[in-house]
Structure formats: C-alpha cells, structure tokens
Structure 1
Amino acid sequence: MTPIPDPLKPGQESVWSYPRPPRLEASDRRVEVWLGGVKIADTDRAYRVLETSHPPGWYLPPDAFLPGTVQPASGSSVCEWKGRATYWTLQAGGVRAEAAAWSYERPTPTFQPIAGYLSLYAGRVDEVRVDGERVTPQPGRFYGGWITQDVAGPFKGGPGSMGW
C-alpha cells in the first residue's frame, strides 16, 4: 500500500518531501529534555536528520547534557546512511532510561557534523520540547523521530508501514 501524504496545514512541512538518502540540517531551535523531573539537556545547537516518511531525528551536542546524566550502554546498530551507532543510558532524578540515546562516534562523511552528538527516544524520557512544544515520539519501537505540529505524515513506524 502506498501511503497518501496528509494535507498540509499552514506552517507545516511534509515528511514525504524529505529526501532519501536523508539530509542533515543545522537548527537553532531550543531543544530541552527532562528525565526524573530534572532538565537533563538544553541546547539551541541541534541538528535534524530529514528522511522520507520519518519525522525529524534530532541530534544534540554532548555538552547540552548535564554532567553525569549520560552513561555508556551495551549494544550497537548500523544505519545505512550514518554508520555504526553507539548506545547510551540516561539517568537523573532516580530514573534510569537504559539505551534511550544513541550517537555516531565515527559517522559517514555526509553526517560528520553530528559525530558524538546524541539523539534519543522521546518516549523513554519524561518529556522533550522543541521551542516549548512537547514532542510526540515516532510510532513503533525502533525509530526515534520527534513529531511536532510543524510536520505532517503519515509517519513510518506504525502498523502497516514496514514496507514504506
């Protein structure tokens, strides 16, 4: 089944206009992350990865995170575009989110600007905000995109979207 892009509302961009392979885009939007009632990250120096059918994946510089809130986790995975991912556990306020974040320590040349930057699953922390708006996690258990009011789907990750 070929998905039909959702109609755009004013100020929205369609994930169906994002390219494949994905594009990396610097952003000066304010990104904040909370875990265990503690704001563990805050930056206006993030990157977005824009890929067809996916809400943007956001990558934050490591210095955006409070000291002691990011710990190595076991496991790794490979992205055909970015390379091998390293996983990280987030912890704060007595809460531990195992393998809730990942980074590309030695990404492919196109994605070199995000070397060492961390992305995270919005559904595994208390809250993530972009310019004050609480994000919705991308559907499914594997993908880590963040849905905000300025992106339109449908989004890969939900039931029936595996072949998109």
Structure 2
Amino acid sequence: MTTATWNGTVVAESDDIVTVEGNAYFPRESVREDVLRPSSTHTTCPWKGEASYFTLEVDGETNPDAAWYYPQPRDAAKEITGRVAFWRGVQVS
C-alpha cells in the first residue's frame, strides 16, 4: 500500500500506483476529497499535456498547488488519466 501524507494526515492511499518520472500517481478516488481545494494554476508538459493543480488543506493549514493531475493527458501519458500526484512536502511511501 502506498500512502501520501502531509501535515500528519494521510491524504491518499492505494495499492494501484502508476509511477511516471519518479512521481507516484494515485487513482483520483483514493485521494481524500475533503482536503483538496481547487487551484487556478496550470502548467504544460511537452509530452503529458496541461496539468491542473489542487491546494491541500489539513487542520487549517494549506499547501498551495501540492497536488496535480492531467485532465486530458496526451496519448503518450494516457496511463495517468484520472490520477493525482503530489509534491511540496507531501511524503509518499
């Protein structure tokens, strides 16, 4: 089982992980919806497409843009469709 933890709280947990470029992508349904806040941030990867972000909020503390996903990944990255990855201090183990 792989978990993503931030601020002492497990924010995602799954045994169905896809790893791309060293990042663990969790199925969206394994991520706690109550800790996700929409973000207006978007970035573009040349081969994966446009990424959208979430800010994490746990116990009143926020971690801006700490989770990302590709709403419509390019064909080369179809395996991460419907998946979320983390960074910015989120521990994945």
Tell me the alpha carbon deviations over residues 93-116 of structure 1, each in whole angstroms, 9 at most, x when there is no partner: 222111111110000012112123
Report what 1:133 is aligned to: none
Q: Does structure 2 conserve the Cα–Cα contact (< 8 Å) formed by 1:35 and 1:93?
A: no
Q: 1:92 offset after TM fit, Å?
A: 1.6
Residue of structure 1 aligned with 2:32, choices 66, 87, 97? 66
Q: Per the alignment, in what secondary structure is the counterpart of residue 124 of structure 1?
A: coil
Q: Does structure 2 conserve the Cα–Cα contact (< 8 Å) formed by 1:90 and 1:99?
A: yes
Q: Which has the higher contact order (CA 8 A, sep 6+)?
A: 2
TM superposition score normalised by structure 2: 0.88
Report what 1:97 is aligned to: 63
Deviating beyond 6 angstroms after TM superposition, the runs of 4 or more aligned structure 1 residues are: none
Q: Does structure 2 conserve the Cα–Cα contact (< 8 Å) formed by 1:36 and 1:94?
A: no
State percent identity of aligned pairs: 28
User: Which structure is higher in strand share?
Assistant: 2
Structure 1 unaligned segments of length 5 or more: list them.
Answer: 1-29, 51-55, 130-164
CA distance in 2, matches of 1:97, 1:124: 8
Flag the structure with larger Rg: 1
Matches within 5 A, 1:3-152: 30-50=1-21, 56-121=22-87, 123-125=88-90, 127-129=91-93
Please tell me the residue identity of whatever aligns with 1:37. G
Structure 2 unaligned segments of length 5 or more: list them.
Answer: none
Q: Does structure 1 conserve the Cα–Cα contact (< 8 Å) formed by 2:4 and 2:86?
A: no
Q: 1:59 offset after TM fit, Å?
A: 0.8
